[in-house]
Amino acid sequence: MENFPQLVPLVVFAPLLGLLINLVLGKYLGERGVGFVAVGAALTALGTALLLWMSLIATGYEPTVVELPLMPNWINIPAAAVDIAWQFRVDTLSVTMMLVVAGVGSLIHFYATGYMHGDPMYPRFFVYLNLFLVFMMLLVTGNNFLVMFVGWEGVGLCSYLLISFWWDKQNRPADPVEAEKYGTLGWRNSIAGRKAFIVNRIGDFGLLLGVFLTFWTFGTLDFYKPGEVPIAPRHEEAAVVEHEAAAAPAEGEGEGGPLAARMGVFNQAELLIEEGADVDFGPFSLPIDVVVTLITLFFLLGVTGKSAQIPLFVWLPDAMAGPTPVSALIHAATMVTAGVYLIVRSNVLFHAAPLSSAVVALVGTFTALVGGFIAMGQWDIKKVLAYSTVSQLGFMVAAAGLGAYAAAMFHLVTHAFFKALLFLGSGVVIHAVEHGHHHAHAHGEHAEEEDVFDPQDMRNMGGLKQRMPVTYITYLVGTLALAGIFPFAGFWSKDEILADALNVGFLEGRLEGYIAFGVLFIAALFTAFYMGRQLFMVFFGEPRTEAARHADEKAYGMQAMTRTLLVLAGGATLVGLINVPRGFWVFDWVIPNHAFTDFLEHTVVYAHAGSAQMLLAILAVAGGLSMIWLAWMIYGKKPVVQGSKDPLEVTPQTKGIFAYANARMYWDETYYRFFEGPFNRAAWWLADKLDWAFLHDFVHETILYETYNGITRLLTRPIDLGLIDGAVNGLARLIQAIAARMRRLQTGYVRVYALSVLLGAVVVVLLMLAPVLSDLLGG
Amino acid sequence: MEPTVFVPTDLYVMLSAVMFVMGAMGVLLRRNAIIIFMSVELMLNSANLALVAFARQWGQVDGQVFVFFVMTVAAAEVAVGLALIVAIFRARKSINIDEMHEMKG
């Protein structure tokens, strides 16, 4: 078991192999073959992760750093003291993430084999899915910020590729406002993919700056060097020894240099902050705690992009244009949690920067509120879940900001299960409604509905409980888990976050704790309400369309989907039990307390177990149940009938609020007005005025073109035509003139030639005889 | 055996000069191609005569040998020249040298 950690490259290379096989042979394998390869690759990764988990338990949770075979020096520039190795890190945090990614990922791969049935681009979809696994595994297994960044960018790329997977989808939105916005042809998926990519660029820019600053400050990007023990409060005995050993030789030398070879970022941060060192930036220097605050704030920008926090969350709801398995895997369970992982991984830095942590907490808190509020006013089944994801990510980020790293990771794990379950459930519903629509259409009814029918619009559903019992039961489990109802998974994790916020606020007396607790509690109530609304609108009442009446969960290929739902429902029910707080009722005797937190504490040095707040738990469950009851009163008791409006839309007291939520609080419009619009105008100005009018018309056409023409005219007329041609032509004319005179000599009469020969001969003879003749005459 | 009448070399040279001038005049003044041709032969032979005379004067055989070469070349020249004249006559029905002035510039 000691050698098991050496297997860790498999979690990256198994999906890589899978995607290469499908890339090259996908055309010939058929749907079953492609699915087998892709699911097999994911399962191999899952098996590897399980082995790693077992080896961690067997070896006493010792973290292991594994060098990538064949690649010992990834980036190594000795002259600049840059030495970044491509290393994998096996510790409790990375193994937790691996298990979530590979576990949920395998289930979703399996689900997608049914969901994507019949798609002409079937192999490509699984190539992308496996590619996503490759990058996500790189992200979570890297032992330094740069490998993590490679994964971070890679999952962004996969997100882009998969959102715009149906890039040519001719989608006409049912909502006239959206139809107006996107046009009837609606390259909605391409636009959504582009939006996700561009918004993420802003976040990635922040992360990259943070990574650069980290490197400048610490001279390395490794989290911990191989064999290094974290210096932290809970390792006090070990820390003293380690501390002395590490600090003694370092005293004479400045920070960065030799320390960087022995010590990773986090331990250096602990040491430097204790020393109160300054970081040299050439012309100026900053105290270490300011630098760490800056680094963490840059990281926060990255988190807001990838994990869809205020202000960069706007891409996530649009990303739901992609296929539903993608929404479940990338945009709910795994990729969007990368930001939370980043904060938890950097918990030493965030712990050392209270300001950043407070900002993180507030950002997360208000994201949770805003996401929950908007979700209450959406019609699209997946948009509701998307905003719910935004909201739940807000919970996690808020928890991480409050220092409740274990609670954040716990919620990440439970959320991965129940949100994947809900998304996949919604995928089944959409699939079934679409199927029902085709079925109804095949009978020649409602032909005029064809062009505007939206199978994702909850107004087109209703009464699916009887037609789709498996989906209904599992969706109910997911809903209760998300709403935080005892004993489902969401109850444990959300309650722990609320309890931690309460502790931070009322026990430690920090302002962000009070705010976070109050706001998150409201957001939790929102959660219960919008999930109740969705459940009652989709599954209860009477079917509102022919499509809903003909919906069917037993069509070909859907067995894979419903089976996945059952497995995930089991997970959503039970996964909360991994981290039951101490002193909670009967559970104290049955299940080990906060096992998950203990597991994480071996890596996340500032993680701490939450204590049970019995009163709070009762209050939260009561609040959730009452909100579901409220939703039942509004949407369930008197079901929405075909063609009618939302009850909140017609009630005068709630009309405005509902419209505000339905319009997504005008975030997109605000961004359009303040960023996109001015940007487009600036781009237009640059293109039309600066580039065309100034550069093209003035600089090129007037200055360059005219100058060139002037020079050319000068060279052409006087110099080329006059001087050069004059000389050449003049010479030719001269020779012509001479020749004209010379030709007269050529009379053509033989005797003239003969005479000239004779005369020539006479002359020659005379010349030869000249000396003789002169002798004769002279002498 | 001594020659009975010794003709001085001057006379040979003078005869040669007269023959050369006659040939030259013939080439320059006559229009008939054959006459001109004959005049050319006359000039060649005047040169031969002078060569032979000088050879005798100096008691060397170089001149004599040279004359044989000249006569050989002249024979070849005659063959070519007469062929040309026949060909020209066939083409033009005339051997008037003045009618052949295509080379006029």
Q: Would the CB atoms of B102 and A743 count as touching at under 8 Å?
A: no
Interface with chain B: mutation pick from A742, A750, A758, highest number of B CBs within 10 Å: A750
Interface with chain A: mutation pick from B39, B88, B101, highest number of A CBs within 10 Å: B101
Nearest CA in chain A to B20: A758
Nearest CA in chain B to A752: B28
Chain segment A42-51, per-residue pLDDT in tens: 999 999 999 9
Chain A residues lying within 8 Å of B29, measured CB to CB: 751
Q: What is the pLDDT of residue A431?
A: 87
* DSSP code per residue over A546-580: HHHHT--S-STTHHHHHHHHHHHHHHHHHGGGGGP
Q: Would the pLDDT of A171 be above 60?
A: no
Q: In the Cβ-directed half-sphere of A296, how many Cα atoms lie within 13 Å?
A: 31
| Contact yes or no for A432/A468 (Cβ under 8 A) | yes
Q: Would the pLDDT of A124 be above 90?
A: yes
Which has the higher per-residue pLDDT, A71 or B33?
B33
Q: Using 50, 70 and 90 to split pLDDT, how confident is the model at A235?
A: very low
Q: Would the pLDDT of A182 be above 60?
A: no
Chain B residues lying within 8 Å of A749, measured CB to CB: 97-98, 101
Q: Is A283 on the interface with B (CB under 8 A)?
A: no
For the residues A374-388, what does the mean pLDDT come to? 93
The whole-model pTM stands at 0.77
CA distance A756 to chain B (A): 10
Chain B residues lying within 8 Å of A744, measured CB to CB: 105
Q: What is the pLDDT of residue A321?
A: 87
Nearest to A744 among B27, B102, B105 (CB): B105
Q: Would the CB atoms of A746 and B27 count as touching at under 8 Å?
A: no
Query: At which residue do the structure tokens 């005008």 appear?
Result: A666
Nearest to B97 among A745, A747, A750 (CB): A750
Q: Is B100 on the interface with A (CB under 8 A)?
A: yes
Q: Is A736 on the interface with B (CB under 8 A)?
A: no
Q: Using 50, 70 and 90 to split pLDDT, how confident is the model at A258?
A: low
For the residues A407-420, what does the mean pLDDT come to? 94
Task: List the structure tokens of A61.
Answer: 């949770």
Chain A residues lying within 8 Å of B105, measured CB to CB: 742-748
Nearest CA in chain B to A739: B105
Contact residues for A451 (Cβ-Cβ < 8 A; gap 6+): A172
Query: How many residue contacts between A and B have a Cβ separation below 8 Å?
Result: 31
Q: Would the CB atoms of B104 and A750 count as touching at under 8 Å?
A: no
Angle at A33 between CA A30 and CA A38, to 5 degrees: 120
Q: Supply the angle between the helices A405-442 and A489-502 in degrees, to the nearest 10.
A: 140
Chain B residues lying within 8 Å of A751, measured CB to CB: 27-29, 97
Q: What is the pLDDT of residue A232?
A: 65
Nearest to B103 among A746, A755, A758 (CB): A746
Nearest to B100 among A744, A745, A750 (CB): A750
Interface with chain A: mutation pick from B20, B27, B99, highest number of A CBs within 10 Å: B27
Note if the bond before A78 is cis, omega within 30 degrees: no
Burial (CB < 10 A; 0-12, 13-18, 19+), residue A556, is: exposed
Nearest to B98 among A744, A749, A754 (CB): A749
Nearest to B101 among A748, A755, A758 (CB): A748
In percent, the amount of chain A with pLDDT more than 70 equals 91
Nearest to B24 among A742, A746, A758 (CB): A758
Q: In the Cβ-directed half-sphere of A212, how many Cα atoms lie within 13 Å?
A: 8
Q: Would the pLDDT of A448 be above 70?
A: no
Chain segment A314-335, per-residue pLDDT in tens: 999 989 988 999 999 999 999 9
CA distance A725 to chain B (A): 29
Q: Is B55 on the interface with A (CB under 8 A)?
A: no
For the residues A563-567, what does the mean pLDDT come to? 92
Average pLDDT value over all residues in chain A: 87
For A63-80, b/e burial (b = at least 16 CB within 10 A) is bbbbbbeeeeebeeeeee
Q: Using 50, 70 and 90 to split pLDDT, how confident is the model at A240?
A: very low
| Contact yes or no for A165/A189 (Cβ under 8 A) | yes
Q: Would the pLDDT of A219 be above 70?
A: yes
Nearest to A751 among B28, B102, B103 (CB): B28
For chain A positions 525-584, those within 8 Å of chain B (CB to CB) are: none
Q: Would the CB atoms of B29 and A744 count as touching at under 8 Å?
A: no
Chain A residues lying within 8 Å of B32, measured CB to CB: none
Containing H/E element for A421? helix A405-442
Q: Using 50, 70 and 90 to split pLDDT, how confident is the model at A67?
A: confident
- CA distance linking residue A464 with residue A543, whole number of Å: 7
Q: Would the pLDDT of A174 be above 90?
A: no
Q: What is the pLDDT of residue A413?
A: 94
Chain B residues lying within 8 Å of A754, measured CB to CB: 27-28
Q: Would the CB atoms of B27 and A751 count as touching at under 8 Å?
A: yes
Chain segment B4-43, per-residue pLDDT in tens: 778 889 999 999 999 999 999 998 888 898 999 999 999 9
Nearest CA in chain A to B26: A751
| Contact yes or no for A97/A409 (Cβ under 8 A) | no
Q: What is the pLDDT of residue A180?
A: 60
Q: What is the pLDDT of residue A238?
A: 46
Nearest to B104 among A742, A746, A758 (CB): A746
Q: Would the pLDDT of A676 be above 70?
A: yes
In percent, the amount of chain A with pLDDT more than 90 equals 50
Q: Would the CB atoms of A755 and B98 count as touching at under 8 Å?
A: no
Chain A residues lying within 8 Å of B36, measured CB to CB: 750
Chain B residues lying within 8 Å of A759, measured CB to CB: none
Question: Domain ranges in chain B?
Answer: 9-98
Nearest CA in chain A to B28: A751
For the residues B51-65, what does the mean pLDDT come to? 91
Q: Using 50, 70 and 90 to split pLDDT, how confident is the model at A158?
A: very high
Q: What is the pLDDT of residue A341?
A: 95
CATH class of B9-98: mainly alpha
Q: Would the CB atoms of A746 and B24 count as touching at under 8 Å?
A: no
Q: Supply the angle between the helices A122-141 and A9-58 in degrees, to the nearest 10.
A: 50
For the residues A615-639, what does the mean pLDDT come to? 89
Q: What is the pLDDT of residue A776?
A: 86
Note if the bond before A487 is cis, omega within 30 degrees: yes
Nearest CA in chain B to A743: B105
Q: What is the pLDDT of residue B3?
A: 60
| Contact yes or no for A408/A361 (Cβ under 8 A) | no
Q: Would the pLDDT of A243 be above 80?
A: no
- CA distance linking residue A220 with residue A747, whole number of Å: 101
Q: Using 50, 70 and 90 to split pLDDT, how confident is the model at A365?
A: very high
Q: Would the CB atoms of A751 and B103 count as touching at under 8 Å?
A: no
Amino acid at the residue A136: M
Q: Would the CB atoms of A758 and B28 count as touching at under 8 Å?
A: yes
Which range is least confidently modeled, A253-257, A341-345, A573-577, A656-660?
A253-257
Q: Is B88 on the interface with A (CB under 8 A)?
A: no
Q: Would the pLDDT of A446 be above 70?
A: no
Q: Is A745 on the interface with B (CB under 8 A)?
A: yes
Chain A residues lying within 8 Å of B84, measured CB to CB: none
Q: What is the pLDDT of residue A173?
A: 55
Amino acid at the residue A432: A
Q: Is B90 on the interface with A (CB under 8 A)?
A: no
Which has the higher per-residue pLDDT, A250 or B52?
B52
Q: Is A741 on the interface with B (CB under 8 A)?
A: no
